[in-house]
Amino acid sequence: MNKTTSRALRDILKAPGCHHFPTCYDGLSAVMVKQAGFPLTFMSGAAVSASRLGGPDTGLITMSEMADQLRYICSAIPGMPVIGDGDTGNGNGMNVRRTVSEYARAGAAAVMIEDQVEPKRCGHFDGKMVVPRAEAKMRIRAAVEAAREYGVLIVARTDARAVDGFSAAMDRCLDFVNEGADIIFLEAPESSDELRTFAREIQVPTLANVVPGGKTPVLSRKELEDYGFKLAVYHPLLFASMRAMQDALLQMRGESASFPLALSFEEMKRIVGLPEYEAQSTRYKV
């Protein structure tokens, strides 16, 4: 548990403008995000499920597996704020409290909790369902109370737009503000007007989820900032790495005419920190 990263995230939220950053899903992707100069990252449940299980984001991965992955990520980028995807919190209020506490111990600066029915689905998949409004409030109340004990922040997310409409989703967002959530995330609004209204009417920091090909229009960075969003999260790494692996494998089988772009062996060693490791290890040679 590192309260320094929570303080760093609070400072980011106080700074002017909209802060754009990518998701990560393992230690290597987190290291590359940090080396690229971003101020924070978000451990994506969908990306962890894809990379760790080779499966879809449909509630298959467990809380212990997610916390384990989060621990590797936070260890790889000490001092950098990481938002951990806590999904539904994995049960009732006491389960939500445990999820927040385990993520805090793993090193998260903030934990996202959402209002989907278990097993949950990716926010841009069809077929989602949400718990009743009172239960959604209870989840966020439990999450906030646990977060205050551990010194982390809560991102409260609703998926009600796809189920009950925009107005009902906004009611839940306002409930989450009243329960003390630090950041509000309305998943999958379906128009620019909905994005604008959400960011304007919620009086705490708001998060935009930018998913090309998803249900939400992809706006420019300036538009998101003009609307009033404080955070905007993007998902380039998993998609780019999957495409690169496809290209490399096709080329290896002789089915592709072009050789995929690839790092040199020297560049790979630099990214994973071999020079620093070698320099430090000389202190312990016998």
- 133 in Cβ contact with 90 (< 8 Å): no
Whether 229 maps to a domain, the answer reads yes
Mean pLDDT score across all residues of the chain: 92
Amino acid at 156: A
Summarize pLDDT for 58-110 with one digit per residue, the tens.
878 999 999 999 999 999 999 999 999 999 999 899 999 999 999 999 999 99
Tell me the one-letter amino acid at 2. Answer: N
How far does Cα 279 stand from its chain's mean position?
34
Q: Is residue 198 part of a domain?
A: yes
Q: What is the pLDDT of residue 53?
A: 93
Residue 123 has pLDDT above 60, yes or no: no
Return d(Cα 102, Cα 91) in angstroms, integer.
Answer: 14
Any idea of the CA torsion for 142, 146, 151, 153, to the nearest 10 degrees? -30
Q: For residue 217, is it within any domain?
A: yes
Q: Which residues contact 32 (CB under 8 A, 6 or more apart)?
A: 24, 237, 271
Q: Is pLDDT at 169 greater than 90 in this prediction? A: yes
Sign, CA torsion 63/46/166/110:
positive
Q: What is the CATH number of the domain that holds 135?
A: 3.20.20.60
What does the block give as tokens for 222? Answer: 């300036």
Write the CA distances from 118 to 58, 86, 131, integer angstroms.
Answer: 9, 12, 9
With H, G, I as helix, E, B as strand and everything else as coil, classify residue 165. Answer: coil
Q: Give residue-wise pLDDT tens across range 16-62.
A: 999 999 999 999 999 999 999 999 999 999 999 999 999 987 878 99
pLDDT in tens, 261-281: 778 889 888 988 889 988 999
pLDDT of residue 274: 85
What distance in Å separates the CA atoms of residue 64 and residue 58, rounded to the nearest whole number?
A: 16
CA distance 154 to 144: 6
Residues in Cβ contact with 59 at an 8 Å cutoff, skipping those fewer than 6 apart: 87, 118, 119, 120, 121
Contact 229, 16 (CB under 8 A): no
Model pTM score: 0.92
Is 172 within the bounds of a domain?
A: yes
> Is residue 127 predicted with pLDDT exceeding 80?
no
In a domain, 97, yes or no: yes
CA atoms of 228 and 206, how far apart (whole Å): 8
Has residue 270 been placed in a domain?
no
- Residue 124 covered by a domain: yes
196-248 pLDDT, tens digit per residue, is 999 999 999 999 999 888 888 899 999 999 999 999 999 999 999 999 898 88
pLDDT higher than 80, residue 119: no
The two beta strands, 41-43 and 110-114, are unpaired
The tally of domains found in the chain comes to 1
Q: What local confidence, expressed as pLDDT, does residue 255 receive?
A: 66
What is the largest distance, in Å, between two alpha-carbon atoms of the chain?
68
More confident residue, 272 or 9: 9
- Domain of residue 92 covers 3-243
* Six-digit token string for 264: 């040199």
What per-residue confidence (pLDDT) applies to 253?
Answer: 84
Q: What is the mean pLDDT of residues 132-140?
A: 97
